[in-house]
Amino acid sequence: MLITLRVLHGQVERVIRTDKDTITVGRSKGCTIAIDDPGLSRTHCQFERTGTRLFVRDLNSRNGTRIEGELVSKSVVRPRERITCANAVITFESMEKEPDADDPGMKTVELLLERARPVSSSVNPEAQRLQRMLEMLAPLLRGLDREKSLQGILDAAIALLRAERGFLVLMGAGAPTVHLARNAQGENLAAADAGISRGILRRVLQEGVALLIDDASSDDALAALGSVHALQLRSVLCVPLPGTALQGALWLDHRAPRGGFDHRDLAIVPFFAELAVVALETGERFAEERSRARDLEEDVERGREELVRMSAVLDRVRGEEPLRHDFGRIPARSRAMRTAVRMADRAAGVDSSVVFVGPAGSGKEHLARAVHAQSSRREHPFVAVLCASLPAGLAETELFGRSAAADQPRARAIGGLFGSAAGGCLYLDGLQNLCAQAQAVLLRGLVQAEGGEGNPEVSLSGSVRIMTGSSLSLAHLVAAGRLDEDLRRRLDGLSINLPSLQQRIVELPELIDQLLLELQSPFTLGPEARRALCAHAWPGNLVELKSVLQRLALLRSRANPGRADVEQCIGEQTLPLRDAVDDLERRAIERTLDACGGSISAAARQLGLSRPGLRKMLRRLGLRDSPEPGN
């Protein structure tokens, strides 16, 4: 069998014809249909032919497989149905027996197919009518606003059946009530101006049958109804709403005495009545879900407020004083972050060195800037330098604006980074990456400042406040041989530990709002998107969060991103399983080695490995296997 599929991705459309019984779709080049789309899984889904039927099966993909918008795991595919996989749309065109090129009867078949094409809708009035109905109703079935859907359904019925007015009537408190009234101009009518016969409604509702009245005034069975004469009713089409949960009717009328409606209209109007029931029931369910979601969000918010209140009470019980400086722009609901802000408050009131310890991307520099902004040096510069970027041979020039070969006693002024930060603060970011030569240069400058050695005119004492940021404490760096002990004594001061983003996940909503404000984002995040963000582990902490929000701004600059958009942006950083395991092992070994001062034996015992086994892992992961002291 020859299967024909039409693939549309971006602005590129291609037609695939194959006789394979299994057709795979995905990002992998090994797939039958390979599509370069980050939203696709490596093997996203596959088409399977069974006899004369074609099935599509989702292969546990990240974003799912949909047929005409409906999420499926396995389903039969009918001709002309569209299968959506991330940003690609695949249309099943046909499945037919592969023709024999030498068959002389093929030309006859092609001729018959040409003659069997359907009549154009421009020629067939019934086809025109059906096409118009589908065009009017298609947008209505995509929305969740019940009243707008009902208005659209009633307007479509009025337009298609050439009625002058339309009414949706529901039973309420034992009596029929007009829920919606519209005219041919698409305007709402007041319920008082409905002008419908309750006698006709009662008959339709009691008997459960549709009524087509060509001329109400000449119908013997209706002539006795006073409302027919009073309202001067002529052509009426009234059908009951299907189902038992809702009781009501759809009413259409026309002032033409005869010929306003015919038997074809009577066959079509129940379809509109069924759509009205679907819109009513769906709208009610979504209203209940929205109400439950709002209640849940309010419960969560109340829980957060109660947590903050209880934390404040606990702080007072412990005798902790209120903050003396303004750190209100830093969310601190979690206990670890409250402790960090309290230490920062103390650091802002003194002029000593400060060490910020925390994982990469946890906001160490941001908190250091906040401390500087609240300190007595706030009017002077805050200069940040990345330690890893300091070149070993030019460290003295970068830090002090002078060469190591210069005549120190004749130097008259401090330049470089220290000169730029004069009177303010110099922040050394990533101290664990400061090379040994740069450490020696920095130590010599600090020693001269403290002891007055060299030229007194170049003294640093009281000129610059030094703050440092590190992923490990200074004691761990010294134990691992990555920091000079004398330099540690001069840099060590107040130590502030910052938690990872996972440890302060309760503050994530506030952090998201702050970052969106900083990024001047053109969109807002709904509850579904926020829940997707809160469910992520954030190994890259605040840096990763900011990067994801920036990608969302690029991806959906004119609309509000949903859960799928968030998962797509986060998923771009997902590592293959083997790489993720290697990364986890690498970080665990690095932390253990740092804690054990670089001792292979101690680290192996703590990790439950043999020394040769740990050395083998170090070589496989590309980590430095340094000899142990004394070996």
Q: Which tens digit of pLDDT belongs to each residue from 135-193?
A: 555 555 555 567 777 888 888 888 888 888 888 888 876 677 888 888 888 888 876 55
* 452: pLDDT strictly greater than 60: no
Q: In one letter, which amino acid is 342?
A: R
Amino acid 247: pLDDT? 81
Asked if residue 433 lies in contact with residue 439, where contact means CB atoms within 8 angstroms, the answer is no
Model-level pTM? 0.45
Q: Identify the H or E element spanning 67.
A: strand 65-67
Amino acid 104: pLDDT? 45
Q: What is the mean pLDDT of residues 288-307?
A: 74
How far apart are the C-alpha atoms of 466 and 155, rounded to whole Å?
Answer: 72
Burial (Cβ within 10 Å: 0-12, 13-18, ≥19) of residue 93: middle
Residue 626: pLDDT band by 50, 70, 90 thresholds? Answer: very low
171-185, 306-320, 417-431, 459-473: lowest mean pLDDT where? 306-320
Q: Bridge-partner residues for 67, per DSSP? A: 70, 83
Q: What is the mean pLDDT of residues 513-519?
A: 85
Amino acid 40: pLDDT? 92
Asked if residue 352 lies in contact with residue 493, where contact means CB atoms within 8 angstroms, the answer is yes
| 350-406 tens-digit pLDDT | 988 999 999 998 999 999 999 999 999 999 999 999 988 887 778 888 888 765 444
Query: Which of the two residues, 487 and 316, has the higher pLDDT score?
Result: 487
SS3 content of the chain, % helix, strand, coil (to 5): 45, 20, 35
Of the segments 194-208, 476-490, 502-516, which one has the largest average pLDDT value?
476-490
> Which tokens is 499 given?
């938690």
> Which tokens is 214 given?
């060509």
56-60, 179-183, 455-459, 521-525: lowest mean pLDDT where? 455-459
Amino acid 459: pLDDT? 47
Percent of the chain with pLDDT over 90: 18
> What are the CA-CA distances from residue 375 to residues 305, 324, 325, 327, 423 (Å)?
30, 11, 9, 12, 12
* 95: pLDDT strictly greater than 90: no
65: left (phi over 0), alpha (psi -120 to 50) or beta: beta
Burial (Cβ within 10 Å: 0-12, 13-18, ≥19) of residue 221: exposed
* 621: pLDDT strictly greater than 50: yes
How far apart are the C-alpha atoms of 372 and 367, rounded to whole Å?
Answer: 9
Asked if residue 550 lies in contact with residue 561, where contact means CB atoms within 8 angstroms, the answer is no
* 120: pLDDT strictly greater than 60: no
Query: Which of the two residues, 124 and 340, has the higher pLDDT score?
Result: 340
CB atoms within 10 A of CB 446: 18
What are the φ/ψ torsions at residue 97 (nearest 5 degrees)?
A: -65, 135
Amino acid 83: pLDDT? 93
Angle at 416 (CA atoms; ends 411, 421), nearest 5 degrees? 110
Burial (Cβ within 10 Å: 0-12, 13-18, ≥19) of residue 322: exposed
CB atoms within 10 A of CB 30: 9
| 265-286 tens-digit pLDDT | 777 778 778 777 777 777 777 7
Residue 509: pLDDT band by 50, 70, 90 thresholds? Answer: confident
How far apart are the C-alpha atoms of 565 and 556, rounded to whole Å?
Answer: 8
31-40, 79-88, 420-429, 512-521: lowest mean pLDDT where? 512-521
Q: How many CA atoms lie within 13 A of 54 on its CB side?
A: 28
Query: Which of the two residues, 549 and 265, has the higher pLDDT score?
Result: 549
Amino acid 123: pLDDT? 45
Amino acid 216: pLDDT? 57
Residue 458: pLDDT band by 50, 70, 90 thresholds? Answer: very low
Residue 103: pLDDT band by 50, 70, 90 thresholds? Answer: very low
Residues 6 or more apart in contact with residue 283 via CB below 8 angstroms? 144, 145, 146, 147, 149, 150
Percent of the chain with pLDDT over 70: 75
Amino acid 122: pLDDT? 45
Amino acid 23: pLDDT? 93
* 456: pLDDT strictly greater than 50: no
How far apart are the C-alpha atoms of 211 and 209, rounded to whole Å?
Answer: 7
* 18: pLDDT strictly greater than 80: yes
| 204-237 tens-digit pLDDT | 888 778 888 776 555 555 544 545 545 556 678 8
Amino acid 614: pLDDT? 86
How far apart are the C-alpha atoms of 224 and 129, rounded to whole Å?
Answer: 36
Query: Would you list the DSSP string of 83-128?
Result: EEETTEEEEEEEEEPPPPTT-TTHHHHHHHHHHTSPPPTTT-HHHH
Amino acid 389: pLDDT? 84
Average pLDDT, rounded, for the chain: 77
Residue 106: pLDDT band by 50, 70, 90 thresholds? Answer: very low
Amino acid 267: pLDDT? 76
